[in-house]
Amino acid sequence: MASLSDRGGTGGFLSLLLWLQLLGPLLSEASGGVARPRHPGEHGWQSGAGGQVGVGKQPRLTPSAVFFFRWGLQSPGRVLSVPSFPNHPVCGRRSMRIYGGTKAPQRKWPWQVSLQSYNTHVCGGSLITNQLVLTAAHCVVGRDYKVMLGNNELFQFDENEVVVPVKDIVPHQYYDVRQVTNDIAIALLDFPVNYSSYIQPICLPERPFTVKAETLCWVTGWGRMEGNVRPRFLREAEQKILSQKKCNQKYQRYFRTPFNLVREGMICGYHDVRRSPCWGDSGGPLACEVNNTWIQMGVVSWGYFCGVLPSVYTDVIQYKKWIHDILNQASHIYSMGVSMLLICLMLPEAILVTV
């Protein structure tokens, strides 16, 4: 017999392989391996306040009353495994001081990403850590995704561009395509990206607060322009925050309904000359500048045609706890897997033997 410390033989190597094979299922689960879809309530997440918004006795939107900025199907939530979820200390900064929107200068929105599938732009998204992207749940319709960062031009390679496969995407477990509620998802990149002047994370709101009406924010994306034209370059458009009450009044008058179509967990934005998100902008960020720092207040979700009525965004503030809960639980699983591996590698040499 040869021990693991027998460097001259193959026993030690085979013993290590044996232990790694035994640990394989645990480590694959902890590192974001393939997981079966889970139904709401099955996963055991305790989201608490802000974890589930707008589900219950709410009027449902008919297909004729609403469109999504990216047509999609409902997808059940799944467990996401990531090491950690820190707010980057320099998030929301950039190195320089949509529909009907204008072309965005390079490096102006370094957190903007293009979520792509089979070499086609599907949705927008925003980088919130070096390995996590925030997007909309209705964007999640398949499994083969990648994200492009560091380039404002689609499908035109740039030396600052980084393309990363998506390892896993988790839509909110209570996303409801009929009520258009909980329209938020998190994507885990296959590997962390390096920050540069072209790639930076955007900040998330640290504490609950309400964005005042008429606050000026910006929405960005590669959505359709006037005439149904698909842009090559990233577009930007100003958006003024509209109170939920006034936003509902506009939709109620337009559709002649007494129901509130804009619900808890949603915020509205508008532009005086009908500049707004459109098809292909879904999942992109609604960013507001606060004390020289850009904070993501919304995720592009839905609206009625392009610019006809105010655009509706998922209210990120309402889902901050949901984001933290998922990632903290995933971090715990990841830590357990790594700890087990370290313990096994540190076992007495006499235990790891082979014939």
Which residues carry out catalysis? 138, 183, 282
Closest CA to 202 of 135, 287, 121, 122: 287
182 torsion bin: left (phi>0), alpha (psi -120 to 50), beta (else): left
Please check whether residue 187 is in contact with residue 145, taking contact to mean a CB–CB distance below 8 angstroms: yes
**Nearest-angstrom CA–CA distance, 251 and 102:** 27
Distinct helix (H) and strand (E) counts, the chain: 3, 16
Alpha-carbon gap, residue 123 to 223, rounded angstroms: 8
The half-sphere exposure of 271 on its side-chain side, counting CA atoms within 13 A, is 18
**φ, ψ for residue 250, nearest 5 deg:** -65, -45
**AA identity, residue 11:** G
The per-residue b/e assignment along 288-307, b for 16 or more CB within 10 angstroms, e otherwise, is: beeeeebbbbbbbbbbbebb
CA distance 135 to 192: 17
